[in-house]
Amino acid sequence: MADVRDLLVEIGTEELPPKALMRLSEAFQRSMGDELAKAGLASQGLTAYATPRRIAVLAHGLSERQADTEVQRRGPAVTAAFDAEGQPTRAALGFARSCGVPVDQLEQIETEKGRWLAYRVVQPGRSTESLVPSMVTAALAQLPIPKRMRWGDLPVEFVRPVHWVVLLFGDRVIDAEILGVRAGRVTRGHRFHRAGPLEISHANSYAEILEKEGHVLAAFDQRRDVIRAQVAAKATELGGRAVIDTELLDEVTSLVEWPVALAGSFEGRYLDIPAEALVATMKNHQKYFHLVDDQESLMAYFIAIANIDSRDMAQVRAGNERVIRPRLADAEFFWTQDRKQTLASRMDRLGAVVFQEKLGSLQDKSRRVAALAAEIAGLAGSDPALATRAAELSKCDLLTEMVGEFPELQGIAGRYYAAHDGEPEEVAAAMDEQYLPRFAGDQIPSTATGRAVAMADRLDTLVGIFGLGQSPTGDKDPFALRRAAVGVLRILIEARLELDLADLLEAAAGAYEIFEPAPVAAQVFDFMMERLRAYYQETGVAPDSFESVLATRPTRPLDFDRRARAVSRFRELPQAASLAAANKRIHNILKKAGGRPAREPDPALLRDPAEKALASELQAVRRRVEPMLDAGGYSEALSQLADLRETVDRFFDEVLVMSDDERLRANRLALLNGVSQLFMRTADISRLQA
């Protein structure tokens, strides 16, 4: 076995963007793995490292060089390589000369197309060290960096200026220039604990040297685990539980190289402020973890992660407390000032805030949403008056000081202020629930009023933006229309609302006078059906099951959902594949026949026992399943329709559909159409794949 060595690649930079660090590190590891594979260099695994000032990859057990490869060159056919006397022709001589050997050192190979001259040569593999620089350069070029920067007068670009590069193959430095920097074995430790150069003796000692001598935990996962454990321990000491948000934990991990948790506190009076405002201050602005007690109530403590192991942690703690107090005081001031005015008193000022230049102000939008929300509420059996009031107030908190300072509190602040103003409980809840679901997997509104306003707001935006011809293209979706579409669909399906989406879109589009409502409503409906396709992909419904239901064009998403679930269950039945194939055959026959078959076959024209049996069974099944279909019991109906399999199979085995007798042919087409239409009341199962 060839000798193997570990390969270390470290790119040392100025502070990297914390929210991008993990993505960059994972991409660098993946790209280096791809480059090694393309070069034919197998490794025993890759380890990624990432801190605010570096990304690195350690490839374990790389061979010192590529394996030798045998290369075969094929020349002219033997019939063209030698003349009648067996002497080499110009073709053979030229091929031999290009290979650098005489003709008699060429061999002959047999293929399906005859015998050919050929030359085999063993091409020695290149050394790993010679391949590494180009592989590293290629891997770095593939990193997902939206905007690269330059520094100094160098022609190179990267996410941040590069200050050092380490390239070690075992204990040997690979001589190369990467991103304008000459590679070596010198890295940098912690900015404060070990500011000077730090020499790496061997690739596999990288993490250990950085930790023991450099005060740097280079492995992202290790650093994250240390932070999680330290935060949990500090919270326990304070008698509470730390709320460790994964996104915040990753961001904090990306900000420090030597994490040290410390607990701080603030005055208890600030707990009178809505908890969400305090959490936003601690989490989003200061990157602190907040604590809750046994009743899940916020405590007057926070846990910060320092990037330094200070000899005087009391000063570090005091500094963090000193920083957070003004922000808490601001939140307290906003909370007090905002409550001096009601949300309703801000309604008129919405007229000065533009929603979209051609679609009017936020006041215009609120009025449209109020009318649509009232209509939705009425159709859903809830109180239109509550929906109207909630929609009218829904955007008023955008004009408050609290939301101005903490935009992430829109809706949440509105809920508190509406409750303070004495608005009905459902109206107050709708201030927050109008934004649900905020992201994939988020909860939907829990109140009927919240659902009405949430759907009306999204539908108004969808038809308005589509009406302006600004539908999403590629990755561009500035109004988050894809998310809005899925939000409406999720509410209709998951809240079990028997509402017609096409009707709702027409009502929403009808509120505008700047475009023709019907075409826009139809366009948005098709767009939302495509988003429904993505929704079902995530919930495990097969694409062809979705297509089978889409072909029938149901306009109520809840009805669509029942059909899709029913088809998913139907295809698990043993009769499903045969019936799907039979329906496909029926569709093809009807399509080729052209015209519209009679609605019902004439019993007097039924000749063969097989067609009589099918007609009889179809009538019996129809009597059983039509009440089920009328009630939306698609799964039960398909289960009953599965009983047609044997009769349908027998019909195709024994009956000639396209009879020369025109009357018999038309009658048999009508019979098959009856079978097809009964299935089509649920889905076009001919679209199901085997």
Kindly report, residue by residue over 291-305, the tens digit of the pLDDT.
999 999 999 999 999
Parse the chain into domains and list their residue ranges. 4-66+127-212, 70-123, 220-338, 359-395+425-539, 567-687
CA dist., res. 679 & res. 233, Å (int):
61
Query: What pLDDT, on the 0 to 100 scale, is given for residue 2?
Result: 54
CATH class of 4-66+127-212: alpha beta
Residue 352 to residues 239, 277, 364, 653, Cα–Cα distance (Å): 49, 26, 10, 74
DSSP state of 575: T
With a cut of 90, say whether residue 441 has pLDDT above it. Answer: no
With a cut of 50, say whether residue 585 has pLDDT above it. Answer: yes
Cβ density class 373-409: b for 16+ within 10 Å, e for less = bbbbbebbebbbebbbbbbbbbbbbbbbbbbebbeeb
Query: What pLDDT, on the 0 to 100 scale, is given for residue 690?
Result: 66
Phi, psi (rounded to 5 degrees) for 639: -60, -40
The tokens for 320 are: 């963090």
Amino acid at residue number 396:
C
Task: For residue 306, give the H/E element and its range.
Answer: strand 298-306
Average of pLDDT values for 500-526? 96
- Per-residue pLDDT band for 436 (boundaries 50, 70, 90) equals very high
Residue 540 zone, left/alpha/beta (φ > 0; ψ -120 to 50; rest): left
Average of pLDDT values for 210-233? 97
With a cut of 50, say whether residue 460 has pLDDT above it. Answer: yes
- With H, G, I as helix, E, B as strand and everything else as coil, classify residue 18: helix
Phi, psi (rounded to 5 degrees) for 289: -95, 135
pLDDT tens by residue, 90-115 = 998 999 999 888 988 888 888 888 89
- Per-residue pLDDT band for 1 (boundaries 50, 70, 90) equals very low
CB-CB contact of 458 with 370 (8 Å): no
Average of pLDDT values for 146-153? 88
pLDDT tens by residue, 646-662 = 888 998 889 888 888 88
- What percent of the chain has a predicted confidence (pLDDT) above 70? 99
CA dist., res. 569 & res. 187, Å (int):
60
CA dist., res. 353 & res. 399, Å (int):
9
- Per-residue pLDDT band for 519 (boundaries 50, 70, 90) equals very high
Query: Which has more pLDDT, 485 or 604?
Result: 485
CA dist., res. 604 & res. 588, Å (int):
26
- The per-residue pLDDT of the chain, averaged, comes to 93
Q: DSSP string spanning 396-429?
A: GGGGSHHHHH-GGGTTHHHHHHHHHTT--HHHHH
Query: Which has more pLDDT, 428 or 580?
Result: 428
CB-CB contact of 12 with 165 (8 Å): yes
With a cut of 60, say whether residue 69 has pLDDT above it. Answer: yes
**Superfamily of chain region 567-687:** Isoleucyl-tRNA Synthetase; Domain 1 (1.10.730.10)
Phi, psi (rounded to 5 degrees) for 558: -65, -40
Alpha-carbon torsion 377, 381, 384, 386, what sign?
Answer: negative
Instruction: Say if residue 214 is exposed, middle or buried (CB neighbours under 10 Å; 0-12, 13-18, 19+).
Output: buried
DSSP state of 496: T
What 3 state SS string does 513-543 have?
Answer: CCCCHHHHHHHHHHHHHHHHHHHHHHHCCCH
Query: What pLDDT, on the 0 to 100 scale, is given for residue 576?
Result: 87
Q: Specify the pTM.
A: 0.80
Q: Give the length of the chain.
A: 690
Q: Which residues contact 470 (CB under 8 A, 6 or more apart)?
A: 479
Lowest model confidence (mean pLDDT) among 199-213, 256-270, 331-345, 669-683: 669-683
